[in-house]
Amino acid sequence: MIDFGRFILNIFSSSELALMYLLIASGLILQNTYSLYLFLAMVLKIFLLYYPKKLTQHTQLGKRPEGAFDCNMFSCGGKPKRGGLISGHMTNIGMLSTVLGLNLYFQHSFNFQHGEIIAFLLLTTGAARYLTKCHSLLQIILGTITGALFGIGLFILQKPLLKNKTFKSHYEKFMSNFN
């Protein structure tokens, strides 16, 4: 029998995965280079967090809470093999939320609903990662902060890329979905 509560937690816990699929689908199907830019940033995050996670996996900070289960990207069962000093899920959600929020803010189109959606994604993903015992509160906070820093970096990096006509038109098309 399916544990409905756990099923819902796994969905919220993997919200960053759904966003990743949406970005790659819009990047490939719609041939949107800005979506691919964001998707590649999510993939790059895996490499950037590899060593901090590796160095701390056997420390108290890097250990997952007792009872951690179903913590991998797909929430498909099994005990996690690595620690979780910095929550990768929260890093991705924090990164995408920050770059989206900054883009909307500097376009003068950030509104209360955008803030609500961003807060919803951050809170539900963070709560699900905590309630499934995949991360401690500290690991979730560190992931969110790391994600915000990566998001600021993506926002800064995209400025010179926007000089490219194709990239700029794809960026504008992507951002028009939020106005």
- Do the beta carbons of residue 98 and residue 151 sit within 8 Å? yes
How far apart (Å, rounded) are the C-alpha atoms in residues 30 and 97? Answer: 22
Tokens 């819902």, residue located: 8
Cα 47-8-70 angle, rounded to 5 deg: 45
How far apart (Å, rounded) are the C-alpha atoms in residues 88 and 135? Answer: 10
Tell me the domain boundaries of the chain: 4-176
Name the CA radius of gyration of the chain, rounded.
17
> Residue 64 gets which letter from DSSP?
P
Task: Note the residue count of the chain.
Answer: 179
What's the pTM value of the predicted model, to 2 decimals? 0.85
pLDDT tens digits in sequence order for the chain, 179 residues long? 566 776 777 777 777 777 888 888 888 888 899 999 999 998 898 888 888 877 887 777 777 788 776 666 555 555 565 666 788 889 999 999 999 999 999 999 999 999 999 999 999 999 988 888 888 899 999 999 999 999 999 999 999 999 999 999 999 999 998 87
The predicted structure's pLDDT at residue 14:
73
State the maximum Cα–Cα separation within the chain, in Å, rounded to a whole number. Answer: 54
Residues whose CB is less than 8 angstroms from the CB of residue 117 and which lie 6 or more positions away in sequence, other chains included: none
Closest C-alpha among 167, 97, 87 to residue 127: 87
Tokens representing residue 12 in the block: 């919220």
How deeply is 7 buried, as exposed, middle or buried, from its count of CB atoms within 10 A (0-12, 13-18, 19+)? exposed
Closest C-alpha among 12, 41, 69, 33 to residue 152: 41
Phi, psi of 63 (to 5 degrees): -75, 145
The predicted structure's pLDDT at residue 129:
87
